[in-house]
Amino acid sequence: MRGTGPTADESRGPSDEELVAYLDGELEGQTRRELEQRLLKDDVARRRLKELQVSFELLGDLPAATVDDQFTRSTLEMAVLNASQTMPTWRHKPIWRVRTLALCAALVALAGLGGWGVTELNQLRIERSQLEDLPAAQYLDQLRAIDDLELVRQLSDDLEWQQQMALAVDVGELQLPDASRWLGLVPAEERLEAVSMFSPQDRATLASQFEMLTRQLPNAERTVIRQRARLLSETPAEQRQDLLRTVLQYGTWINTLVANDQARIRDAKGPQRRAVIDEILERDRGRWIAQYPLSASDKSVVIEWMLGQVRSAISERQGDDAQRDRAALEQFERLLNERNGRARDRASRSPTNFGAFRVFALWMERGMTDAAIAEVRSRLSAEARDKLETMNDLEEQREILRSWVGITLRDRFRTPDASQQLYLQMDSRQQEQLDLLPADEFLAELNNRAQFRGPMGRPPRRPPPP
Amino acid sequence: MLQVRDGDAAAFEQLVRRYQVRLVRLLVHLAPSPDQAEDLAQEVFMRVFRARERYEPGAKFSTWLFTIAGNVAHNAHRSRSRRKEVPEADAPRPGGEKSSGAIESMATEASGLMPARMLDRRERSAMVREAIGQLGDRQRMALLLNRFEGMNYAEIAETMGMSTKAVKSLLARARVHLRNLLAPYIEGDGAALPQASMSSSGELDAV
């Protein structure tokens, strides 16, 4: 056995460097031939060579690295977010709002990347027998997420589930694939032709998922996914479309959840699983409704309603504060009219929005009585009212209305959300300091603070490696 | 990579899928701790993504990728070592002097009581991992690129920013060091205790 230091044999024989280079095929010509001659005669050199080789080959005993699909997904998500640049957000708000912004960032980024080229499916050299796999590949993410087809069958008949999913689609939380274009509905020999009708993006997605299914998934999982796709395609035609739609809803929805929620659902069995699903849906409903895109007339309703309350609040005030608030209200209304009446050119947008900030702050200070909620509810369109009334609790309705007003103001005045929130967080002295700034400096200063200071910084990044 | 540089999102996904396992396999041994490997691999991919527009064809992409991986791992070690003195990059890690003994005792524990017993793969793997951990950072990187990426000396040199001659010397030191660390685990005739990886009709017979 060998110790840790070089032996006398080593010092007399070929150098370690020569032996290693020989093993690595990096020794050439005369040097190689000389070493080979030496090895034929020299037992010690031969033993050293063998030890070097064996110890090197022991590296083959190291376990193979594995990477799950979550790693790939999160890497790609990070890239998408990276491409979108960082978005200002705030940390003290409920997590759903932060997630909303992250989602927006991802969507913005995806839109920005829309011009990217795509990988064509036909680059994959699909064998005819592999055409059978296209339906499973097409909705791979969803089929991987479905581990209880019976539950999905139940959900497909559940009106409440369907309404929740419709809401999620309405607010852009879920983007469901088109169930009517499923390749499982197309005979195998016509599938490539059907694929050629897909958009380049859809073809690229299909290509990537096909690659994943056929080459990267473990055999056992691939078999299960094929079985699920087959079960779906063998479902009687009259039930198939509903079932497929629910598979896409459920699979897509599950994939939007945070890992902890996914694990809770996965770990729950039987009726308990349904209970967990309902609990998560209940929790998310408020977030989805808060994002509900109001129609133009509903936006006007909520702004007018908010202004009415602010006017009342100001009329009850006296002194310098009241004067300043009245000035802010006047400015706000003037800007509002400009936006309603004129083209939204840059010049009309650029004057400060501080009136809007001040007015919003006043409204938030005033609070929202039950009667005020009833009033706005009666003025909203049936559709928006329906969404609002989905929340039974008045406090939840308050939160939704705050969100609708905030989002409408932000959109109307192109106000970054983080800036709006920062202003609301400031005490009156800080607000006043800002209000006194020249109009063209106001927003710049506020944005600057929102981005670089205070409780609201840039969105949290992945921590750097230690 | 050229497609990624030109803005092909699908190509970036393909690139991640193609290299992720190889990258993690390397970083498991280069990272300060194995459980950081995935985080560092993501950091490497992000750097590639951010630098995509600056990518110049010429060198192999994998060379560029593993150069970045080496830098990321190096930075991770540096961040970790800020509070203490950083060992020389090519020097064995702290505790290296005792490492051979540690491995020896592992080997004894595993096989000493039952000399005829063939060690299972998991035990061998633990010993080899321990041995690799005792190598200096640069030795370890060169060795892993050589063994797992099948890189020749010129490619390793390019990846690690060294001359080919320096790589030759570095790899020789690494291999000798590895052999010494695993000495308790290799029988006198050069065969590994469990199942000799090299048959008697191997390369030597061809000499």
pLDDT tens string B149-173: 888 999 899 888 889 889 999 999 9
Length of chain B equals: 207
Q: Residue A450 — very low, low, confident or very high, per pLDDT cuts 50/70/90?
A: low
Closest residue of chain B to A57, computed from CA coordinates = B197
Cβ-based neighbours of A400, under 8 Å, separated by 6 or more: A286, A289, A290, A387, A388, A391
Flag whether pLDDT at B119 surpasses 50. yes
Residues belonging to chain A: 466
Between residues 93 and 152 of chain A, which touch chain B (CB distance below 8 Å)? 113, 115-119
* Residue A384, pLDDT above cutoff 50: yes
Sort out which chain B residues have CB atoms less than 8 A from A63's CB and list them: 125
Its pTM stands at: 0.42
Banded model confidence at residue A338, pLDDT cuts 50, 70, 90: low
Q: B68 CA to chain A: closest CA distance, Å?
A: 14
Greatest C-alpha distance within chain A: 108
pLDDT of residue A116: 31
Q: Angle at the Cα of B170 (from B166 to B175), degrees rounded to 5?
A: 150
Q: How far is CA A170 from CA A281, A288, A381, A384, in A?
A: 15, 9, 16, 12
Question: What ipTM was assigned to the predicted interfaces of this complex?
Answer: 0.74
Highest mean pLDDT among A49-53, A437-441, A459-463: A49-53
The distance of A122 to chain B (nearest Cα, Å) reads 14
**Are residues A117 and B6, on separate chains, in Cβ contact within 8 Å?**
yes
Q: What are phi and psi of B187, to 5 degrees?
A: -70, 165
pLDDT digits (tens, 9 = 90+) for A241-267: 889 999 999 999 998 888 888 999 989
| pLDDT score of A436 | 65
Look at residue B7 and tell me whether its pLDDT is greater than 80: no
Cβ contact B128–A71 (<8 Å): no
- Band (pLDDT 50/70/90 cuts) for residue A139 is very high
Structure-model confidence comparison of residues A434 and B84, the more confident one: A434
Work out the minimum CA distance from A275 to partner chain B, whole angstroms. 34
How much is the pLDDT for A359? 77
Q: Is residue B90's pLDDT more than 60?
A: no
Which residue did the predictor score with more confidence, A280 or A206? Answer: A280
A259 and chain B in contact, CB less than 8 A: no
Scanning A409-438 for CB atoms below 8 A from B yields none
At A200, which amino acid appears?
P
Q: Any bridge partners for residue B57, and if so which?
A: B59
Task: Write down the H helix ranges in A342-369.
Answer: 346-349, 354-366
Within 8 A of A82 by CB-CB distance, chain B residues are: 46, 49-50
Mean pLDDT score, A171-182: 84
Chain B (3-32) residues lying within 8 Å, Cβ to Cβ, of chain A? 3, 6-14, 16-17, 20-22, 24-25, 28, 31-32
Half-sphere exposure of A361 (CA within 13 A, CB side): 24
Contact A51, A2 (CB under 8 A): yes
Mean per-residue pLDDT, B9-31: 87
Buried b (16+ CB within 10 A) or exposed e, B178-206: bbbbbbbbbeeebbbbbebbbeeeeebee
Structure tokens at A350: 């650029």
Amino acid found at A334: R
Cross-chain Cβ contact B172/A207 below 8 Å = no
The percentage of residues in chain A with a pLDDT greater than 90, rounded to a whole number, is: 9
| Residues of chain B with C-beta less than 8 angstroms from the C-beta of A50 | 189-191, 198, 204
How confident is the model at residue B144, as a pLDDT?
92
Q: Which of A 179-218 lie inside 8 A of B, CB atoms?
A: 204-205, 207-208, 211-212, 216
Q: What is the pLDDT of residues A15-31, one digit of tens each?
A: 888 899 988 888 888 88
Q: Which DSSP state fits B183?
A: G
Query: Are the beta carbons of A58 and B176 separated by less than 8 Å?
Result: no
Burial degree of A374 (CB within 10 A; 0-12, 13-18, 19+): exposed
Smallest CA–CA separation between A215 and chain B, in Å?
11
Confidence check: pLDDT of A310 > 90? no
Least confident of A177-186, B44-53, B191-200: B191-200
Backbone angles phi, psi at A380, to 5 degrees: -75, 160
> Inter-chain contact A40–B190, Cβ cutoff 8 Å?
no
Assess B35–A contact: CB distance below 8 Å, yes or no.
Answer: no
When pLDDT is cut at 50, 70 and 90, the band that residue A414 belongs to is low
Whether the CB-CB separation of B22 and A86 falls below 8 Å is answered with no
> A61: which chain B residues are within 8 Å (Cβ-Cβ)?
121, 124-125, 128
Contacts with A52 from chain B: Cβ below 8 Å: 175-176, 179
- Stretch B177-189: mean pLDDT: 76
A106 and A214 Cβ atoms separated by less than 8 Å:
no
Average pLDDT over residues A357-386: 84
Query: Structure tokens of A81?
Result: 């977010």
Residue type, A198: F
pLDDT interval class at A143 (50, 70, 90): very high
| Cβ-based neighbours of A109, under 8 Å, separated by 6 or more | A80, A81, A83, A84
